[in-house]
Chain A
Amino acid sequence: MKIFGFVISLIITLALTIALSVKIGSVPPLGYFLDPFHGFWQNAESEEPYIDPTLAASVLQPVEVVYDSLLIPHIFAENEYDLYWAQGYVQASHRLWQMEFVTHVAAGRVSEIVGERALEFDRAQRRKGLTFAAENSWKQVQKNDTARQMLEAYSDGINAYIENLTYQDYPVEYKLLNYQPEPWHPLKSSLLLKYMADYLAGGDEDVENTNGLKLFGKESMDRYFPVFLPGREPVIPTEYDWPFEATPIDTPRVTYRDNTLYTETIEEPNPDNGSNNWAVSGSRTQSGNPLLANDPHLGLDLPSIWYLVQLKAPGVNVFGATLPGSPGVVIGFNDSIAWGVTNARRDVKDWYKITFTNDTKDEYEFGSRRLKTQQRIESIKIRGADTFYDTVIYTHYGPVVYDQSFPKESSTTVPLNYAMKWVAHDPSEEVITFYELNRARNYEDYVEALGHYRSPAQNFAFASTSGDIAMWVQGAFPVKWRGQGRYLMDGGRPEQEWKVLIPYDHNAHILNPERGFVSSANQVPVDTTYPYYIYDHSYEHFRNRRINNQLSRTRQATPRQMMELQNDVYNQMAADILPMMLDSLDLSVLSPEGRDMYDILRRWNYQNTIGQAAPAAFRAWWRALRTEIWDEFTAEEITLDLPTNAATIYIMQQFPNDTIFDSKQTSSQETLNDLIQESFQKAQTKIQDWEEEQGQTIHWGDYKSTSIQHMLQLEPFSVKNLPVGGGRSIVSANSERHGASWKMIVELSEAVQAWGVYPGGQSGNPGSYFYTNMVDAWAKGEYFPIKFYQYPEDNPTTVMARQTIQPSSAD
């Protein structure tokens, strides 16, 4: 009997121990996870973070790391190897999970972590050629000794951190998903930059445009999707005289013969990805020193996209925002200069139809020749299942993204056998740009640094302590003939392929303009006088005008005014079109609630503040109106773009009797006024429904509901419903899941001063008091003064902790 009892007890004990040691469904192994000595409990931090005051590591000379009250590390090294080693080590100590997860996403390796449900996502990432691009980039960068050493040192530092870790030290996400960190490699840094290239320059609407061309014809496409709108304010002012002769190009005769209507394409990056930057010359500032401001607009994510750091070593003393996973500072300042970036939109991704000569797809037509393809076999490891092998065909254009096996869903129509040609696939060395900008002393150094930059193209704003301000629209831009790349093209016709890039010094740029300031907000870079063809499917038309408007009124600019401008919530788009919409309404048919909504909109001051109802009412009305105007574009399953808000306003104002306003779905004839009236009613209903559902009066803050989400979309690790104003196409561009991911103001006085804030914290650990400690200040529009030390002993009252990394004895 007792033996039986023993066996039962033993079985129960073993079963329990095993059950608590394995992952069951989405529940992590609870024995490991709940163990106070090793589990998630070990990730909880007290308000005063513990930082090891000394650490022995494989640095060449001692490195001092000074942490200020925001947990920003100020790294003081005696040589470059140690500097980047320390950046790697310190960044890994705060953001390891993020660095690895983001690079896994870029590499299409999410299935390794979460299993089969990520397989199609991974296949898309592979077929986009991000790893292919990263490999090309890493090969190129290795040719430069300085850059290679920087990336290797950075990688060494990260690996030194990883090597010391045991389960109890892992970031909590590893414990939740039950996996371990893997060693870092410099290739991953290139992957990270290609992830950003995809994020910012991976969008194109060529398929949508081609569908539109087939359904509506060229005249409609040109009319409803204009690139240059009246009232535009390009990055480089219109009056600028281009001092060069453009590279000549022949325009071939092209007929777009493809008759297929496509219903799907791979996922596109968020079209709101964009930003603001500007620099004001000393002639227009109160102090006489230039001011520079930048706020990149990206997804509001946790851990935060940016990580702040100061790097000081012989030859360099720079502060700014870095992207965890890549060394160097990406947006920031040093003792002499400051720089910032906004996305320079341009169509740099095009599609070419490949005519294979046989079923095995090893050859394709190119003019009168036949070219060989290459096969790249992507092995996608899947947690809990067999590895999936995906064969992707590569042509000289690039990868053939869609084929019979991809996407898996066969009910959609995708551009089969089209190869993707994208500037980001080519060898590049952007990391050298950041290396050189970090050390730049003046305008010439800045120009030299930008020479290494290809993708994603950015409007680089610049200011120096010697008084210069500048803007350079820098990137690899193919020389194109008018219309090239707007639609899908024929890969068998060599004359349709773009071959050369616009020479670097022909890229639009300006130094010390007459008007005394430079600015950019993702708008059209130049005016029609520029001798090269410019095209993107969507240029900003509102934020840029508001910024320029405010800057031209400011004669004695101060840092505080720059902050106010970054926080500006004026709705330029509403100012442009709302009066006309209100004037067109027939008030006699409105209900009392309708009259109320009308009154609110009439009295509105065009400020998108959180307490007002008008911003919500306007948005609901505008959206309903825009959908009604362009109902032909949403009627079918076909993937089509709607004309932009700016284009819509342009058509409404210039061509109010256009046939587009007559809805094809009804037999009666509508006019624009009818649509304005109908959409008003729809908006009214929408607002009322919202109020009923929420049990409160509508106001912009809750209607917009800006939130910052953890990358795994875990709600408890996210921040919901922030009380912050603004909106799309507004300078303070905060929408539901998108906004100012970093806000920086720099004054280029002799001792450079700066202020900054971002919606998150330096620590990527949800158990840390530094995970979201800056969010409240960011939402209120407040800034922290940036500590920029010359020596580790400086300003001791601002220092929270110190750490010395000592060279360990040689092995």
Chain B
Amino acid sequence: MKFVTKVILIAGLSYIAEQFFPWWSVVICAFLVNVLLPTKGFNAFISGFLGVGLLWLVFAWMIDSNTGSILTEKIAQLFELNQSGLVVAATGLVGGITGGFAALTGNVLRTINRKEPVKPGYYK
């Protein structure tokens, strides 16, 4: 549950942050959420990966859909990808990987000071 909360928090905070700040604000959001709510290492990475990755993927996909891929296709060709879907995927991936590492960093920072890792299933 904590995991899902983190993902939602990261996605939500990133969304709000991006209304005011450039793209790297997602790094700060993923980092902060994990400092405040640490979990196991791999778990943390995935929380950031999914939090930012899904946020970017969903919004990119929505834009792609609303615009009939008009620009996505051209950008795909520009980067020598054959399908516009790959651009959507790349967007999700770039956001996800960056978010993942930011999350991991926050998590490790927090758990340096703790004696034991949080048990999975801590929150019921």
Contacts and interface: CB of A to CB of B under 8 A. Distances in A.
B42 interface: no
B72 A44 contact: yes
A24 B114 CA distance: 40
Contact of A21 (B24, B59, B63, B101): B24
A176 B71 CA distance: 13
The 9 closest A-B pairs by CB, nearest first: A767-B71, A35-B23, A716-B77, A36-B59, A44-B71, A716-B74, A44-B67, A9-B105, A37-B18
B98 to A, nearest CB: 5
A31 B23 contact: yes
Contacts of A766: 71, 74
A716 B31 CA distance: 38
A31 B19 CA distance: 16
B17 to A, nearest CB: 9
A41 B69 CA distance: 10
B67 A13 contact: no
B32 to A, nearest CB: 13
A526 to B, nearest CB: 49
Contacts of A32: 22-23
A36 B94 CA distance: 11
Counting chain A CB atoms within 10 Å of each CB, the highest count among B23, B31, B102, B111 belongs to: B23
Contacts of B112: 2-3, 6
A22 B94 CA distance: 14
Given A2-B111, A767-B70, A13 B105 contact: yes
A680 interface: no
Interface in A359-385: none
Interface string B25-67: 0010001000000000100000000000000100110011011
Contacts of A528: none
Contacts of B66: 44, 46
B97 interface: yes
Contact of B68 (A3, A30, A47, A176): A47
Please classify how large the interface on chain B is, using the bins under 10, 10 to 19, 20 to 34, 35 or more.
Answer: 35 or more
B56 A46 contact: no
Contacts of B108: 2, 5-6, 9
A306 B72 CA distance: 26
B90 A12 contact: no
B14 to A, nearest CB: 9
A331 to B, nearest CB: 30
Contact of B23 (A38, A44, A715): A38
A16 interface: yes
Interface string A28-69: 001110111111110111110000000000000000000000
A20 interface: yes
B23 A13 contact: no
Contacts of B41: 5
B63 to A, nearest CB: 5
B48 to A, nearest CB: 10
A35 B71 contact: no
B109 A35 contact: no
28 contacts: A2-B108, A2-B112, A6-B108, A13-B31, A13-B104, A13-B105, A16-B98, A16-B101, A17-B24, A17-B102, A21-B23, A21-B24, A31-B98, A32-B22, A34-B94, A35-B18, A35-B56, A35-B95, A36-B56, A43-B71, A44-B64, A44-B66, A46-B68, A172-B71, A716-B77, A716-B78, A766-B74, A767-B74
Given A716-B75, A767-B67, A36 B91 contact: yes
Contacts of B105: 6, 9-10, 12-13
A31 B91 contact: no
B98 A13 contact: yes
Interface string A487-530: 00000000000000000000000000000000000000000000
Contacts of A37: 18-19, 23, 59
B11 to A, nearest CB: 12
A715 B23 CA distance: 28
Interface of A: 2-3, 5-6, 9-10, 12-13, 16-17, 20-21, 30-32, 34-41, 43-47, 167, 172, 176, 714-717, 766-769
Given A13-B27, A13-B102, A40-B71, 16 more contacts: A3-B112, A6-B112, A12-B105, A13-B101, A13-B105, A16-B97, A34-B95, A35-B23, A35-B95, A41-B59, A41-B91, A44-B63, A44-B72, A45-B70, A46-B67, A167-B22
B70 A769 contact: yes
Contacts of B27: 13, 17
Contacts of B56: 34-36
A715 B77 contact: yes
Given A10-B105, A17-B98, A31-B98, A39 B70 contact: no
A365 to B, nearest CB: 56
A21 B22 CA distance: 10
A760 to B, nearest CB: 15
Contacts of A44: 63-64, 66-67, 70-72
Nearest to A42: B63
Contact of A714 (B70, B78, B94, B98): B78
A34 B60 CA distance: 9
A17 B108 CA distance: 18
Contacts of A20: 23, 94, 98
A31 B24 contact: yes
Nearest to A41: B63
A766 B73 CA distance: 11
B74 to A, nearest CB: 4
Contacts of A717: 74, 78
A503 B94 CA distance: 67
Counting chain A CB atoms within 10 Å of each CB, the highest count among B19, B24, B59, B76 belongs to: B24
Nearest to B80: A716
A708 to B, nearest CB: 14
Counting chain B CB atoms within 10 Å of each CB, the highest count among A30, A35, A714, A768 belongs to: A35
A802 to B, nearest CB: 23
A592 B108 CA distance: 81
Contacts of B64: 41, 44
Contacts of B23: 20-21, 31-32, 35, 37-39
